[in-house]
Amino acid sequence: MRTLLVYASLAIATQTIYSANAQGVFDRGGALSIDKPLNKGGSLSVDKPLDKGGGLSVDKPFDKGGGLSIYKPFDGHGEIDKLIAGLTLRPCALTFNTVVEGVGLYTGQRGFTAAGSERQFDDARNALIVTGLYTSGDLAGVSIRYCRLTGSGFTYDRDKVCLNSSVGNDPYTLAHTLAHEMFHVMQMRISGTDKFKCAYAQAAIKCGGCVDRRNALEIPAYEFEERAEPALNYYYHLWSGLFGSYTVVNNTPTPKCKTPGKASVTGLKLTDECGQVSPIEFLLDGRIKATALNMTGRPIKEQNQIVWDNSSIWTHATAVKSSAR
């Protein structure tokens, strides 16, 4: 649930980060500032562009080390139970629409839906699945439509997402916005519809009607969004083929494991041919680093490969199949 003002700031920052410049893939324009979406004021290094120095792992991406998993940080760090303490749930939940309509976020009116919108939505869903940010099960049953919004997106009921038609002008922006709204879908599913609506309304009231980062239930959604950015950038702007399964050629004298299998890259997680799992960092020069395995690789789009600094070469499984025909 994101206001256009907040989203506009994010879009400007994203443009700055991805503007063409030889400095690197993710800053390409200079030092990231507090107004830009990846570092919030912290100096990013080439080896630690996403964790702000805090050592995030694939199992602890949202709470800077406290143990939330990538798919279950949806309770807003325990805020939901705090916000609804002592309240009667159903009457409180009914204030949700009053609050969001009061700030002009959602009018309840369906916006113009152009021909081909369903294909746009399907493409965005596919991007979220391929990058590993959500599963097909997470997205199953979720209704997406264009609505008249002052914000870029709004999850107005269980499994019901409204998007501002303006986000459909760019596939990356559409997927990026849907990633944020799907976070609220998961919040609502896990906590329960009335419980979430009551808590969200109370959080908005506490911050003067805010539906941006000041809202306690928006904080983890924006954190998820920031984590999603590098994977979606790679998918849309660099090489969508980075994600998926790989066959492995290991040129080292001794195999790493007795029965090597396929490797894979899924979102911000990598699994090597021995089944070892590591979080991924997207480095500023376009390489990726498997932090838990202490290896760095350079994706080569033209050859459908990742060439690693330990002499392993991973070839994307789809390329292997096509060459065998």
Question: Residue range 70-74: average pLDDT?
Answer: 46
Q: Which region among 8-22, 97-111, 130-144 has the lowest average model confidence (pLDDT)?
A: 8-22
Distance CA 39, CA 54 (A): 12
Residue 241: the pLDDT is 92
Indicate whether 249 and 229 sit together in one domain: no
pLDDT band at 109 (very low <50, low <70, confident <90, very high): low
pLDDT at residue 110 in the model: 56
* pLDDT mean over 294-319: 92
Q: In the predicted model, is pLDDT for residue 254 greater than 60?
A: no
Q: Please indicate, yes or no, whether residues 85 and 217 belong to a single structural domain of this protein.
A: yes
Residue 253 pLDDT:
53
The answer to whether the beta carbons of residues 83 and 89 sit under 8 Å apart is: no
Report how far residue 86's alpha carbon sits from residue 248's, in angstroms, rounded to the nearest whole number. 57
Looking at the fold, whether 178 and 38 belong to one and the same domain comes out as yes
Phi, psi of 270 (to 5 degrees): -125, 140
Query: Strand, coil or helix: what is 270?
Result: strand
Mean local confidence (pLDDT), 148-162: 88
More confident residue, 217 or 108: 217
139 lies in the same domain as 63: yes
**pLDDT number for residue 26:** 32
Residue at which a domain ends, from 192, 209, 238: 238
Note whether 207 and 56 are within 8 A (CB).
no
Q: Say how many domains are in the chain.
A: 2
Region of poorest pLDDT, from 47-51, 171-175, 268-272: 47-51
Q: Where are the alpha helices (DSSP H) in the chain?
A: 4-18, 79-84, 89-93, 95-102, 117-130, 136-139, 171-191, 193-206, 219-233, 317-323
Cβ atoms < 10 Å from Cβ of 315: 18
Average pLDDT over residues 159-188: 94
Per cent of the chain over pLDDT 70 is 68
Residues whose CB falls within 8 Å of the CB of residue 208, separated by 6 or more in sequence, listed in order: none
Residue that finishes a domain, picked among 182, 211, 238: 238
Comparing 43 with 17, the larger pLDDT belongs to: 43
The model's pTM is 0.72
User: What pLDDT is attached to residue 186?
Assistant: 93
Per-residue three-class SS string for 70-96: CCCCCCCCCHHHHHHCCCCHHHHHCHH
Residue where one domain finishes, among candidates 192, 214, 238: 238
Is it the case that residue 57 has pLDDT exceeding 60?
no
Q: Please give the residue range of the domain that contains residue 251.
A: 240-323
**Helix (H, G, I), strand (E, B), or coil: what is residue 188?**
helix
pLDDT over 50 (residue 16)? no
Residues 172 and 107 in one domain: yes
Q: Are residues 65 and 172 in the same domain?
A: yes
Residue 34 scores a pLDDT above 60: no
Q: Is residue 128 helix, strand or coil?
A: helix
The pLDDT of residue 12: 31
User: Residues 23-43, buried b or exposed e (16+ Cβ, 10 A)?
Assistant: ebbbbebeebeeebbbbeeee
Q: Are 150 and 104 in contact (CB under 8 A)?
A: yes
73 and 24 inside one domain: yes
Average pLDDT, rounded, for the chain = 75
Most confident of the ranges 48-52, 103-107, 217-221, 255-259: 217-221
- Contacts (Cβ under 8 Å, ≥6 apart) of 199: 76, 79, 80, 83, 84, 191, 217
Distance (Å, rounded) from C-alpha 83 to C-alpha 104? Answer: 23
Mean pLDDT of 271-290: 91
Express each pLDDT in 217-246 by its tens digit.
998 899 888 888 999 999 999 999 999 999
If 0-12 CB within 10 Å is exposed, 13-18 middle and 19+ buried, where does residue 64 land? Answer: middle
Residues 202 and 224 placed together within one structural domain of the fold: yes
pLDDT for the residue 77: 53
**Do 215 and 254 lie in a common domain?**
no
Q: Of 164, 180, 162, nearest to 218 (Cα)?
A: 180
Which is more confident, 17 or 134? 134
